[in-house]
Amino acid sequence: MSSPADLMWSLVVPVKVLARAKSRMAAAAGAHRAELALAVAADTVAAALRCPRVGAVVVVTDDPLAARELAALGARTVPDEPDEGLNPALVHGARLARLAAPGAGVGALSADLPALRPGELGRALDAAARAPQAFVPDAASVGTTLYTVRPGVAFAPAFGTGSRERHRARGAVELAPGGIETVRRDVDTPEDLRAALALGTGPRTAEVAARFHPAPPRGAAR
């Protein structure tokens, strides 16, 4: 088994059918909503694949366009065979990931992290490697953007409303290393998107957002 210092990871990324994704962005994004959802997922997956600690990304999705686009980036895409909700979909993806790489840790990563930077993800995964089960809370400290388990540990994600408290209640260690802002910055609302743009999103999200969304505040970090 790998030591915490050199543990590699397989990440499972759930992607909704694009027509149903980003519902809270409907008023702001209008006709660009599905396109934005795909751009955000693609920037997230592309950044994860560039992280040296990530050996594989498994995308669970029933959307054929998303599957095609994310596979072209280098992800393995699989259908949501359980079709019983988010957490069963993640468990399904994790099982396949472990079959392919049994010595790797497994993590569930939100598909809504368009500002994700590979180095910050690596910092979070290195911290996660020191705990059997761990998670990173979202920027609002209510939800979860990353849930991880080491090899041999049961994969039991508890995503959904209030997932931070549920993961803590199940014994997962909350990770708070410095310098992982982009791992925590998920995008569900126009306000979230503005914050992600201020951090500096991937090119796909920036291109789609420019069609309907104001630029980041002047002087914002990139």
The pTM assigned to this predicted structure is 0.93
Domain count, the chain: 1
Q: Residues annotated in the binding site for phosphoenolpyruvate, as ranges?
A: 144, 160, 163
What integer best gives the mean pLDDT of the chain? 94
What is the per-residue pLDDT across 109-127, written as a single tens digit (0 to 9) for each? 999 999 999 999 999 999 9
Q: Per-residue pLDDT for 219 more than 70?
A: no
Asked whether residue 215 is assigned to any structural domain, the reply reads no
What is the per-residue pLDDT across 21-67, written as a single tens digit (0 to 9) for each? 999 899 889 999 999 999 999 999 999 999 999 999 999 999 999 99
Helix (H) or strand (E) holding 60: strand 54-61
Asked whether residue 123 is assigned to any structural domain, the reply reads yes
In the predicted model, what is the mean pLDDT of residues 7-26? 95
Q: Per-residue pLDDT for 222 more than 50?
A: no
Asked whether residue 90 is assigned to any structural domain, the reply reads yes
Q: Which domain holds residue 133?
A: 9-209
Q: Residues annotated in the binding site, as ranges?
A: 144, 160, 163
Q: Count the helix, strand and coil residues of the chain and give each as a percent rounded to the nearest 5.
A: 40, 15, 40
215 versus 53: the higher-pLDDT residue is 53
Residues 6+ apart with CB under 8 A from 31: none
Q: How far apart are CA 79 and CA 89, in angstroms?
A: 9
Asked whether residue 51 is assigned to any structural domain, the reply reads yes
Q: How far apart are CA 135 and CA 149, in angstroms?
A: 9
* CATH number of the domain within which 54 lies: 3.90.550.10
Asked whether residue 196 is assigned to any structural domain, the reply reads yes
**Cα distances (angstroms) measured from residue 191 to each of 15, 25, 28, 45, 62:** 21, 10, 10, 22, 28
- Looking at residue 214, what is its pLDDT? 53
Asked whether residue 3 is assigned to any structural domain, the reply reads no
